[in-house]
Amino acid sequence: MGYTPELKELIKRVEATRPKRLEMARKGENFPALTLEERAVVLEKFHPDYQKEGRRPVKTGPDKGLVLPEEVAMLLESRSMLRPEHVKLDKVDFDTDVLVIGAGGAGNSAALLAADAGCKVIMVTKLRHGDANTMMAEGGIQAAVHECDSPFYHYMDTIGGGHFTNQPDLVATLSHDAPLSINWLEGLGMMFNKHPDGRLVSRHFGGSSRKRMNSAGDMTGAEIMRVLRDEARSRSDQISTIEFTPAVELLIDEEGKCGGAILYNMETREFFICRAKATIIATGGNGRLHIKGFACTNHYGATMDGVVLCYRAGVGTTCMWSTQYHPTGVSYPEQNVGLLITEKVRGLGAHVLNVEGEQFCFPLEPRDVESAEIIKEALEVGKAVLTPTGRYGVWLDSPMIDMLHGEGTVRRELPAKFIQFERHGIDISKEPMLVYPTLHYQNGGIAIDGDCRTVIPGLYSAGECTGGVHGENRLMGNSLQDVITFGRRAGIVAAQYVNSGVEVKKLTMDHVVKYEKELAEAGVENPVVAPILLPDYSTDEVASRRLLQVQGMLEAE
């Protein structure tokens, strides 16, 4: 285990250039940063968000004409798993007040608050209860809780970080509700990091004016998820959670209100009609679309289902063109691929190097610029390392850290990363790491207002599947806050709507029929079937031997 002999050979080149680079670093000299003009060029040419290649206008639906990544556009131009004419909508299998789709942080918060307001809730989820991006968040959750901070500064930091592209009412809601969310989680028994007197331990983060990052160890998201899941389980009298049963189509009643969804039991391959007075979409992100082939940090079910369902029903998106890439995701060893290497590593002085062991960029450019430069080194210059598992990587020279700051710094400052690599036989205080940009967060998504309403009555949405809260750039710690704040809001507002006396009329799938007609008219041939639910990672070789493929070829002949 550890690095292969071939990689060890390459590491020698890194070691050969290191003394000189260390000398530079000690003198405070750095590889020159790009000018604003140069930045624009490299972004334009290599940042996946800026590249023309791989993006195109979407041909149908509410955002027709909007330029989006191919993978996203293709899913928006998709057809349903179901043939509407064969679906019997008068036979209702589940009837409920509120249907929550997705059981991550946003879904559970919504379910709990709707239950608090007396509603009967069904929460369906694609994998197990809690298999979600929420579980994976390590860093923390923002909220202006200390005296020197206020919702005003939370608002300012968030909208500035998002280059002022955020939707103002959403930012206002976020910063207003954030302390309420933390208070709620504390009351549910979440183990926040606290000082001995009970004061929350809060830290700075990229783009903060105040220390606002609250956490629970280095598994804040997991702690939130565990607590919410346990609470939802404790309330099984009001909340029924159905696992491995994604929603695959929305149902709209003849008055145009959302009236529930069609559910699909992935294990038995049965479909069910779920009628609900209000429906909340909380299906999370889209990392598993692997836009442009990038690895990702997301969980297995992050396939943008909610956006697809809503889009087909006529709900547009906000900021959908924007995706967050993290410049340094692990590219070797294979078992860590896509995992984040925090910015702190570069902050502590580690250089980013090509296969020759040479520097090719300033290591602390903004995230998007840094990502673009690494991609350029791989694709254009052709000087990336090719890993034994066939991935691009550039060296992140972590051993410099101990050499610059003294023995033991790596272990002390980066304990989790140290262990993660040590497990696979790599001592990152002595050997450099291989990294490459990785897909991290779906910045845009379903268009909502400050109360999580979509344009369809009875249809609400919250969490990573929505857009606008973060604009084109999300600050660390704001998405966990997003899912709690808007999840809770969605639950409250949906319950108010239900309690005001809603009657679901005859259910229809007319929107699907209409949308598929639009696809045909727009000349979209062989649209993909979506939501795709899960990515398929079988090799081409295996896929080509699968019966359906073989059959397809025979039929074609």
Partner 1 sequence: MSQSESTPKKTQIATGDRAILPKGAKTIPIFIMGKQYEVPETLTIMKAMEFAGFQFLRGAGCRGGICGACPTVYRMPNDYKIHFGLACQTVVEADMYLAQIPFYPANRAVYKLEDIEARPDMINALYPELFRCVACNNCTKACPMNVDVLGYISALKQGDIARAAEISFDCIQCGMCASRCMGEIPQYHIAQLARRMYGKYIMPKAEHLQKRVDEINAGKYDGLLEKLQKMSHEELEKLYKEREREPDLAPNGTWVPQDAQYL
State which of residues 69, 105, 179, 468 lies at the interface with ligand FAD (CB under 6 A): 105
Question: What is the sign, positive or negative, of the torsion defined by CA atoms of 195, 197, 200, 203?
Answer: negative
Per-residue binder mask for ligand FAD (CB under 6 A), 237-256, x = binder: ---------xx---------
State which of residues 14, 106, 274, 291 lies at the interface with ligand FAD (CB under 6 A): 106
Contact flag: residue 363 with ligand FAD (CB under 6 A): no
Q: Six-digit token pair at 370?
A: 């840094």
CA proximity to 341, closest of 379, 297, 301, 399: 297
Please say which residue, 18 or 470, places its beta carbon nearer to ligand FAD. Answer: 470
Catalytic residue, chosen from 326, 367, 453, 470, is 326
State which of residues 305, 402, 431, 472 lies at the interface with ligand FAD (CB under 6 A): 305
> What is the nearest approach in angstroms of partner 1 to the Cβ of residue 108?
14
Stretch that binds ligand FAD, among 101-109, 272-280, 419-427, 515-523 (CB under 6 A): 101-109
Contact flag: residue 484 with ligand FAD (CB under 6 A): no
- Distance between CA atoms of 530 and 214, rounded to whole angstroms? 37
Contact 273, 251 (CB under 8 A): yes
Please say which residue, 43 or 250, places its beta carbon nearer to ligand FAD. Answer: 250
DSSP string, 393-451: EEEE-THHHHHHH-TTHHHHH-HHHHHHHHTTT--TTTS-EEEEEEEEEE--EE---TT
> What is the nearest approach in angstroms of partner 1 to the Cβ of residue 359?
24
> Residue holding tokens 């889009």?
311
Contact 133, 438 (CB under 8 A): no
- Select the binding partner of residue 247 from ligand FAD, partner 1, none (C-beta < 5 to 8 A, by kind): ligand FAD
> Residue holding tokens 């040479």?
358
State which of residues 127, 156, 386, 532 lies at the interface with ligand FAD (CB under 6 A): 127
User: Across the strands, what pairs with 281?
Assistant: 101, 461
What letters, b where the CB count within 10 A reaches 16 and e where it falls short, cover 48-84?
bbebeeebeebbbbbbeebebbebbbbbbbbbbebeb
Contact 195, 201 (CB under 8 A): yes
Instruction: List C-alpha distances in Å: 156 to 143, 152, 319.
Output: 13, 6, 19
Contact flag: residue 182 with ligand FAD (CB under 6 A): no
State which of residues 137, 250, 251, 289 lies at the interface with ligand FAD (CB under 6 A): 137
Contact 110, 117 (CB under 8 A): no
What is the total residue count of the chain? 557
- Distance between CA atoms of 445 and 304, rounded to whole angstroms? 9
Stretch that binds ligand FAD, among 81-89, 125-133, 186-194, 510-518 (CB under 6 A): 125-133
> What is the nearest approach in angstroms of partner 1 to the Cβ of residue 216?
8
Stretch that binds ligand FAD, among 47-55, 235-243, 279-287, 386-394 (CB under 6 A): 279-287
Stretch that binds ligand FAD, among 58-66, 98-106, 376-384, 427-435 (CB under 6 A): 98-106
Under rule CB under 6 A, which residues in 437-476 are in contact with ligand FAD?
Answer: 441, 463-465, 476
- Distance between CA atoms of 210 and 149, rounded to whole angstroms? 6
- Distance between CA atoms of 557 and 541, rounded to whole angstroms? 20
Contact flag: residue 102 with ligand FAD (CB under 6 A): yes
| Other residues' Cβ atoms within 10 Å of the Cβ of residue 407 | 9
- Select the binding partner of residue 128 from partner 1, ligand FAD, none (C-beta < 5 to 8 A, by kind): partner 1
- Select the binding partner of residue 145 from partner 1, ligand FAD, none (C-beta < 5 to 8 A, by kind): partner 1
Stretch that binds ligand FAD, among 122-130, 148-156, 398-406, 407-415 (CB under 6 A): 122-130
Q: Six-digit token pair at 548?
A: 């359906």
Catalytic residue, chosen from 79, 210, 312, 346, is 346
Contact 105, 483 (CB under 8 A): yes
Task: Indicate if 405 belongs to the active site.
Answer: no
Please say which residue, 125 or 398, places its beta carbon nearer to ligand FAD. Answer: 125
> What is the nearest approach in angstroms of partner 1 to the Cβ of residue 146?
5
Helix (H, G, I), strand (E, B) or coil at 541: helix
Under rule CB under 6 A, which residues in 212-231 are in contact with ligand FAD?
Answer: 221
Contact flag: residue 119 with ligand FAD (CB under 6 A): no
| Other residues' Cβ atoms within 10 Å of the Cβ of residue 555 | 7
Query: Catalytic site residues?
Result: 326, 346
Chain positions contacting ligand FAD, by CB under 6 A = 101-107, 124-127, 131-134, 136-141, 221, 246-247, 282-285, 297-298, 301-302, 305, 340, 441, 463-465, 476-480, 483, 531
